[in-house]
A and B are shown apart, each in its own frame.
Chain A
Amino acid sequence: MMSIEKEVVTQAVKGDGKAFAQLYEEHFDKIYRYIYLRLGNRTEAEDLTQEVFVKALEAIGSYKWRDLPFTSWLFRIAHNQVIDYLRKESKQEKQCWDDNIRINGSSPEAIAERELEAEELNENIKKLSPAQREVISLRFGAELSIAEAAKTLGKSTGTVKALQYNAVVALRKMMVDEE
Chain B
Amino acid sequence: MAENVQNILNNCIERIFKGETIEDCLKAYPKQAHELEPLLRISSAVMQSSSAIQPTSEFKDRVRSQLQEMLYVKAEQKRAKVPIWHRRWAVALASILIIFIAGIGTVAASVNALPGQTLYPVKLASEEIRLGLTFSDVEEAKLHIQFAERRTAEIVGIASQGRDDKVFLLAEQADSHISEVEKSIEIELETTPQAMAPKLASPSQPPAPFMSERAESYEETAKDDRSEMVIMLSHSRTINLDKLQAALDKAPKELKPSLEQAIKNLTRNYDEAISIIEGSPSL
- Tell me whether B54 and A104 are in contact (CB under 8 A): yes
For the complex, what is the distance from the CA of A101 to the CA of B49, rounded to whole Å? Answer: 9
- Tell me whether B74 and A117 are in contact (CB under 8 A): no
- Tell me whether A121 and B54 are in contact (CB under 8 A): no
Asked if B39 CB lies within 8 Å of chain A CBs, one says: yes
For the complex, what is the distance from the CA of A15 to the CA of B34, rounded to whole Å? Answer: 53
User: Of the 9-residue stretches A24-32, A67-75, A79-87, which lies at the interface with chain B?
Assistant: A24-32
- Tell me whether A101 and B52 are in contact (CB under 8 A): yes
- Tell me whether B70 and A54 are in contact (CB under 8 A): yes
Interface centre among A104, A114, A140 (most CB of B within 10 A): A140
A166 smallest CB distance to B (angstroms):
9
Asked if A77 CB lies within 8 Å of chain B CBs, one says: no
User: Of the 9-residue stretches B56-64, B97-105, B174-182, B192-200, which lies at the interface with chain A?
Assistant: B56-64
Asked if A10 CB lies within 8 Å of chain B CBs, one says: no
Chain B contacts of A131 at CB under 8 A? Answer: none
Select from chain A the residue with minimum beta-carbon distance to B44: A140
- Tell me whether A168 and B43 are in contact (CB under 8 A): yes
How many A-B pairs with Cβ below 8 Å?
Answer: 113
Within 8 A of A (CB), among B28-46: 38-39, 42-43, 45-46
- Tell me whether A36 and B53 are in contact (CB under 8 A): yes
Chain B contacts of A103 at CB under 8 A? Answer: 52
User: Of the 9-residue stretches A1-9, A88-96, A169-177, which lies at the interface with chain B?
Assistant: A169-177
B134 smallest CB distance to A (angstroms):
30
Residue interface mask A114-155, B partner, CB < 8 A = 1? 110110011001000000000010011101011000000000
Select from chain B the residue with minimum beta-carbon distance to A18: B71
For the complex, what is the distance from the CA of A125 to the CA of B53, rounded to whole Å? Answer: 14
Select from chain B the residue with minimum beta-carbon distance to A172: B42
Chain A contacts of B46 at CB under 8 A? Answer: 121, 125, 136, 140, 168, 171
- Tell me whether A33 and B67 are in contact (CB under 8 A): no
Select from chain A the residue with minimum beta-carbon distance to B64: A24
Select from chain A the residue with minimum beta-carbon distance to B60: A28
Q: Given A32-B55, A172-B42, A118–B49 Cβ distance below 8 Å?
A: yes
Q: Given A54-B66, A125-B46, A162–B52 Cβ distance below 8 Å?
A: no
Asked if B5 CB lies within 8 Å of chain A CBs, one says: yes
Residue interface mask B1-43, A partner, CB < 8 A = 1? 0110111011001100100000000000000000000110011
- Tell me whether B63 and A28 are in contact (CB under 8 A): yes
A156 smallest CB distance to B (angstroms):
12
B43 smallest CB distance to A (angstroms):
6
For the complex, what is the distance from the CA of A169 to the CA of B43, rounded to whole Å? Answer: 10
